[in-house]
């Protein structure tokens, strides 16, 4: 018995191996179709899986069979690794360096993650090859003679000699030969085999009996004989009934015979994870005739089988167009019936679109399938068609099914999100969806746009296609990552598409007037399209992400120039108010605190100080003493301006996204310090001022004027000089920190050597004296002997002189010259990038002003005035500027900007500007010589070199070809002229004769 069971198991394994080699059909329930909705943690987001490739779409059988080969390959490390291990043997297990925690993954959560896939059936489809192999494996498993099968098939064993031949055969050989004869339609052999003891009810590992294989082969005679021998038409020892096998073999006549003998048309396959009825079997084998027969006998095409699907679902999932057509033609067929696999539901249209079967999609749509229905993940058929990279299905769903291109799934993702992939048709699908109205900037639940997904996956072609069709590179996810940041790191060559769009916004045309003057049109919609009313936010994002070179483009520079002209008046007004505030503060500190005039007005005899301002003979001092309300009025005016400044600062907080961002601005800290100082130095608390208020007032005045200097430095006219000052200041601070130890050392040495000197009375005063001596203010009196004759010992005098000389050499000479050299070098560097630095500061200043003006808390009437006076385009990115670059009277734009834009427009008109075959884009303006105006012009040689080398090489090759062709034409012309001269001479000679 044990041997018999072992042989059955071996035969079943052989059956599985046979099925693995047969042509496998597409699996019914795909992995991503059963994917649960995943709620990912943004701090531990799994890498986003790309759309499946051609390899991933292979049947599971092929993938499983290929796995051992890969495993075997991986077990043999390369030779260089073996050599490295021998040279540096590892001591036990490897230890990782503890260098901090790993950063979280930055990829977007995958919309098709977390699969729940049932085991895929490998033997649900019965075919001729599998039955042949099964018979041979059964014979081999039972130790029988394989030649008996070959002799039966070739006719060596005849029907007359069958009884004699098989009389000495074993029971297993008789049963298997009966199975084989029924499969080969050898009706004459059945009776002799049964007479010698073959069992007509014998079955293999899958429960296939001679009646089953006869039904599959379509042998009516064999089936009829076996039925007459007592075989049950509903005989189902394990998985399949004879009628199922007839369906797999498309044996209509045998199916009719079985049905007439009482076979049930409602029997279901009892195979694990592949439960189904006759219609499922017919669809799997594409048995069209049997399918019609079963439907005619009353099988319900809408019936959901125990596996959760009906025949329509299966036909759509396998792409069986003929079967699907027959099923849908049946009266009462519903194309919108949903599968029922737990809480997961899908329609036949979802399955067909997911497989990319456009014929099935068209058929389902024509039969009333609704393209708007969603599955258990919220996907429409358009989501799945875009995900499977089927352009035909996408177009069919949009054109014939009126599918919504902006439909959201449960993660708020649209079909455009699903279309991002590596396939060759991904860009075409993206363009198709956008042409049908898909929102290219739609954000999902995590704030990711399709551009984010394409950039995160490094898909430069998709990135460039999206940018070309208006995707906003400055949009940010919920975690604050902009698409521009991801593109700059993962697909930097795609940034050239931004430049191309800017180039395309500059066009050249001739005026319609009689003079036909050249006009240059600058279309700012590419800059303003996504940032109304904060028009500068697009360019400001480029600056924040380190792509500030884009500001050098003539279109961006022209926009900054016009925008500054619009918003300059508001900054000048703010600058004027700040000046009045600091001036009032200064007057109050000078009069009420510095010269103690307020206290003198209260008690003139005791508190008056001998200072010029408040002396009795001073006219102004006399006025202040006799009229203390003047000082009081100063403070109340200062308090009123301060209250206004408080409202302005509080209003400005709304323009910042976070408190940290607000506190990171140094000017905010300085201004709040000055505001608080105003109330600290007031007299109103005790009607008297104190000495400590003088110090607070001094620092407040210093901070106020310093902040005013920084504000003036933000103006483009003075920005370069203030930037130089700040740069040298930072370098000096770093240099002082680096050499502070030697300065402290000299300070202590001088305090010890010169204890009687007032300059070195204590270390703090000594350090200040050393800093003063650094700049060359040397005090040689320290080395001179006192006139009273009390000279120090010679040794101490000599050590003092050595210390002084060392300070002179290492600090005054070396250190100060080093500081001067660094300052000169930094200034030269700033001068080289003065144009770009000017544009960057201008951008940040305009951004700051827009944050203050358009934070949404002003009355509508005031906002309306601001829109009309501060915006370049009050009508939301509908603005085009037309200038005449060759007209000397044109003053609306600087000459260098106009000429740079004119060169780009002229080059585009001459050579055109298209995407290269490699997918990258080349900027034409990078090959022009930029115009400079002293140090203020930013148009130097710059550009986006992606693809520029190939473009330049093609241009050089074309120029060389043109030159050679021109030379050949000239030589040919000379030859023709010479031949004409010879002909003329010959004709003249003939006429003379």
280 close to 124: Cβ distance less than 8 angstroms: no
Find the helix or strand (DSSP H, E) in which 510 lies: strand 506-510
Query: What is the token pair recorded at 503?
Result: 């180039």
At residue 919 the predicted structure's pLDDT band, cuts being 50, 70 and 90, is very low
Q: How many residues does the chain have?
A: 993
User: Using omega within 30 degrees of 0 as the cis cutoff, is the peptide bond preceding 533 cis?
Assistant: yes
194: left (phi over 0), alpha (psi -120 to 50) or beta: alpha
Confidence grade of residue 936 (pLDDT, cut at 50, 70, 90):
very low
Tokens of 954: 């093609």
* CA-wise closest residue to 548 among 901, 826, 841: 841
Q: Is 228 exposed, middle or buried (0-12, 13-18, 19+ CB in 10 A)?
A: exposed
CB 614 within 8 A of CB 597: yes
Residue 367: its pLDDT value, please?
92
Q: What is the mean pLDDT of the chain?
A: 77
H helices present in 469-532, as ranges? 483-490, 496-504, 525-528
CA angle 225, 227, 231 (to 5 degrees): 130
Q: What angle do CA 174, 176, 179 make, to 5 degrees?
A: 110
What per-residue confidence (pLDDT) applies to 62? 33
For 47, other C-beta atoms within 10 Å of its C-beta total: 14
CA trace torsion 580, 582, 583, 585 (10° rounding): 120
Q: Which of 509-518, 582-591, 810-819 has the lowest mean pLDDT?
A: 509-518
Whether residue 206 contacts residue 238, with contact meaning beta carbons closer than 8 Å, is answered with: yes
Could you give the CA distance from residue 516 to residue 509 in angstroms, rounded to a whole number? 9
> How many CB atoms are located within 10 Å of the residue 728 CB?
18
Task: Report the alpha-carbon distance of residue 755 to residue 759 in Å, rounded.
Answer: 9
pLDDT band per the 50, 70, 90 thresholds, residue 213:
very high
The reported pLDDT for the residue numbered 16 is: 42
pLDDT confidence of residue 365? 94
Confidence of residue 455 (pLDDT cuts 50, 70, 90): very high
Which single residue is written with the structure tokens 């599918």?
403
The model's confidence at residue 615, banded by pLDDT at 50, 70 and 90, is low
pTM as predicted: 0.71
Q: Between residues 785 and 32, which one has the greater pLDDT?
A: 785
The predicted-structure confidence for 42-77, as pLDDT tens digits, reads as follows 333 433 433 433 333 333 333 322 333 333 334 444
Q: What is the pLDDT of residues 457-473, one digit of tens each?
A: 999 999 999 999 989 99
- The pLDDT, as a whole number, for residue 407 is 93
Is residue 120 pLDDT above 80, yes or no? no
Q: Is the pLDDT of residue 14 over 90?
A: no
| Residue 467: predicted pLDDT | 92
Count of CB atoms within 10 A of residue 421's CB?
A: 24
Give the separation between CA 804 and CA 753, rounded to whole angstroms: 10
The owner of tokens 């076996």 is: 226
> Is pLDDT of 625 > 80?
no
pLDDT beyond 50 at 196: yes
Please state, in angstroms and as integers, the Cα–Cα distance from residue 586 to each residue in 9, 89, 642, 703, following that order: 101, 75, 13, 11
Which SS3 state, helix, strand or coil, does residue 736 take?
helix
148 Cβ contact list (under 8 Å, min separation 6):
139, 157, 165, 169, 173, 177
Show contacts of 223-229: CB within 8 Å, 24+ apart. Answer: 223/254, 223/257, 223/258, 224/257, 225/187, 225/190, 225/191, 226/182, 226/190, 226/200, 227/257, 227/261, 229/194, 229/200
**3-class DSSP state of 341:** strand
587: burial class by Cβ within 10 Å (0-12, 13-18, 19+)?
A: middle
204 closest CA partner among 231, 173, 237, 235: 237
| b/e 176-204 (16+ beta carbons within 10 angstroms → b) | bbbbbbbbbbbbebbebbbebebebebbb
Residue 19 has pLDDT above 70, yes or no: no
Residue 788 dihedral angles phi and psi, to the nearest 5°: -75, -5
| CB neighbour class for 224 (10 Å; exposed up to 12, middle 13-18, buried from 19) | middle
Grouping H, G, I as helix, E, B as strand and the rest as coil, residue 482 is strand
Q: Which residues pair with 603 in a beta bridge?
A: none
Largest Cα–Cα separation, the chain: 153
Cα 451 from Cα 265, distance rounded (Å): 53
Query: Count of alpha carbons within 13 Å of 187, Cβ hemisphere only?
Result: 13
pLDDT score at 649: 84
Tokens matching residue 359: 């014929």
Pairing of strands 506-510, 880-883: unpaired
The most confident of the ranges 154-163, 571-580, 584-593 is 571-580
């Amino acid at each position: 018995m044990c041997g018999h069971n072992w042989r059955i198991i071996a035969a079943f394994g052989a059956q599985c191996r046979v099925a693995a080699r047969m042509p496998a059909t597409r699996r019914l329930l795909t992995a991503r179709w059963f994917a649960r909705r995943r709620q990912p943690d943004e701090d531990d987001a799994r890498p986003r899986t790309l759309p499946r490739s051609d390899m991933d779409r292979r049947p599971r059988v092929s993938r499983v069979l290929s796995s051992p080969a890969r495993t075997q390959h991986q077990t043999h490390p390369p030779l260089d690794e073996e050599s490295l291990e021998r040279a540096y043997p590892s001591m036990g297990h490897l230890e990782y360096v503890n260098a901090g925690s790993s950063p979280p993954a930055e990829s977007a959560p995958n919309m098709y993650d977390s699969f729940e896939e049932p085991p895929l059936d490998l033997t649900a489809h019965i075919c001729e090859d599998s039955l042949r192999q099964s018979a041979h494996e059964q014979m081999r498993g039972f130790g029988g003679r394989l030649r008996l099968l070959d002799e039966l098939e070739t006719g060596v064993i005849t029907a007359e000699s069958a009884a004699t031949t098989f009389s000495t055969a074993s029971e297993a050989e008789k049963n298997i030969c009966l199975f084989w004869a029924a499969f080969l339609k050898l009706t004459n052999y059945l009776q002799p085999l049964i007479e010698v003891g073959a069992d007509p009810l014998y079955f293999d590992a899958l429960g296939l009996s001679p009646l089953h294989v006869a039904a599959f082969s379509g042998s009516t005679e064999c089936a009829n004989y076996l039925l007459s021998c007592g075989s049950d038409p509903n005989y189902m020892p394990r998985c399949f009934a004879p009628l199922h096998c007839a369906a797999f073999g498309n044996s209509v006549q045998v199916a009719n015979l079985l049905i007439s003998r009482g076979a049930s048309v409602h029997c279901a396959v009892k195979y694990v994870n592949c439960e189904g009825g006759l219609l499922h079997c017919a669809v799997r084998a594409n048995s069209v005739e049997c399918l019609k027969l079963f439907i005619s006998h009353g099988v319900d095409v809408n019936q959901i089988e125990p596996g959760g699907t009906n025949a329509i679902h299966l036909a759509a999932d396998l792409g069986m167009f003929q079967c699907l057509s027959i099923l849908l033609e049946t009266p009462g067929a519903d194309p919108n019936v949903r599968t029922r696999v737990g809480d997961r539901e899908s329609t036949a249209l979802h399955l067909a679109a997911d497989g990319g079967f456009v014929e099935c999609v068209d058929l389902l749509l024509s039969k009333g399938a609704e393209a708007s229905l969603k599955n258990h993940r919220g996907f429409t058929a358009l989501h799945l068609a875009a995900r499977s990279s089927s352009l035909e299905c996408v177009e069919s769903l949009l054109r014939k099914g009126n599918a919504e291109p902006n439909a959201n799934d449960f993660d708020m993702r649209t079909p455009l999100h699903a279309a991002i992939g590596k396939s060759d048709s991904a860009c075409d699908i993206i363009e198709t969806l956008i042409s049908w109205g898909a929102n290219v900037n739609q954000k999902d639940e995590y704030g990711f746009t399709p551009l984010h997904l394409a950039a995160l996956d490094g898909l430069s072609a998709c990135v460039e296609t999206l940018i070309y069709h208006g995707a906003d590179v400055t949009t940010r996810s919920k975690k604050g990552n902009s698409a521009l940041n991801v593109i700059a790191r993962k697909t930097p060559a795609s940034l050239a598409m931004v430049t191309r769009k800017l180039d395309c916004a500059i066009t050249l045309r001739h005026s319609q007037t009689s003079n036909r003057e050249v006009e240059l049109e600058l279309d700012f919609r590419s800059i303003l399209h996504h940032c109304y009313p904060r028009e500068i936010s697009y360019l400001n994002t480029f600056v924040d992400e380190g792509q500030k070179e884009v500001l050098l483009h003539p279109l961006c520079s022209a926009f900054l120039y016009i925008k500054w002209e619009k918003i300059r008046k508001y900054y000048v007004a703010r600058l004027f108010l700040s000046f009045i505030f600091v001036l009032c503060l200064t007057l109050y500190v000078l009069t009420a605190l510095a010269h103690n005039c307020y206290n003198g007005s209260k008690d003139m005899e005791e508190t008056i100080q001998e200072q010029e301002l408040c002396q009795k003979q001073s006219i102004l001092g006399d006025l202040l003493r006799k009229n203390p309300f003047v000082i009081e009025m100063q403070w109340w005016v200062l308090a009123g301006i301060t209250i206004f400044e408080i409202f302005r600062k509080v209003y400005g907080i709304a323009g910042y996204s976070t408190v940290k961002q607000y506190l990171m601005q140094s000017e905010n800290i300085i201004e709040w310090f000055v505001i608080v100082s105003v109330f600290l130095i007031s007299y109103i608390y005790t009607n008297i001022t104190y000495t400590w208020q003088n110090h607070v007032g001094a620092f407040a005045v210093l901070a106020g004027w310093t902040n005013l200097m920084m504000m003036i430095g933000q103006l483009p006219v003075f920005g370069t000089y203030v930037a130089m000052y700040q740069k040298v200041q930072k370098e000096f601070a770093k240099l002082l920190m680096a050499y502070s130890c030697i300065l402290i050392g000299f300070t202590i040495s001088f305090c010890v050597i010169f204890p009687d000197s007032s300059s070195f009375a204590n270390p703090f005063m000594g350090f200040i004296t050393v800093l003063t001596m650094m700049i060359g203010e040397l005090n040689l009196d320290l080395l001179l002997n006192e006139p009273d004759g009390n000279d120090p010992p010679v040794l101490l005098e000599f050590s003092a002189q050595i210390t002084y000389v060392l300070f002179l050499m290492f600090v005054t000479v070396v250190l100060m010259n080093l500081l001067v050299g660094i300052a000169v070098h930094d200034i030269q560097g700033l001068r080289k990038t003065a144009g770009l630095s000017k544009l960057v500061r201008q951008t940040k200043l305009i951004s700051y002003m827009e944050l203050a003006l358009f934070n949404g808390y002003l009355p509508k009437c005031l906002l309306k005035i601001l829109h009309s006076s501060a915006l370049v385009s009050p009508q939301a990115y509908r603005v085009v500027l037309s200038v005449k670059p060759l007209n000397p009277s044109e003053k609306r734009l600087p000459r260098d900007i106009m000429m740079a834009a004119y060169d780009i427009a002229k080059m585009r008109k001459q050579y055109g500007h298209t995407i290269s075959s490699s997918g990258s884009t080349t900027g034409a303006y990078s090959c022009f010589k930029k115009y400079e105006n002293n140090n203020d012009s930013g148009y130097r040689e710059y550009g986006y070199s992606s693809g520029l080398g190939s473009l330049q090489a093609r241009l050089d090759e074309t120029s060389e070809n043109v030159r050679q062709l021109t030379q050949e034409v000239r030589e040919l012309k000379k030859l023709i002229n010479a031949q004409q001269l010879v002909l003329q001479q010959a004709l003249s000679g003939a006429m003379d004769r």
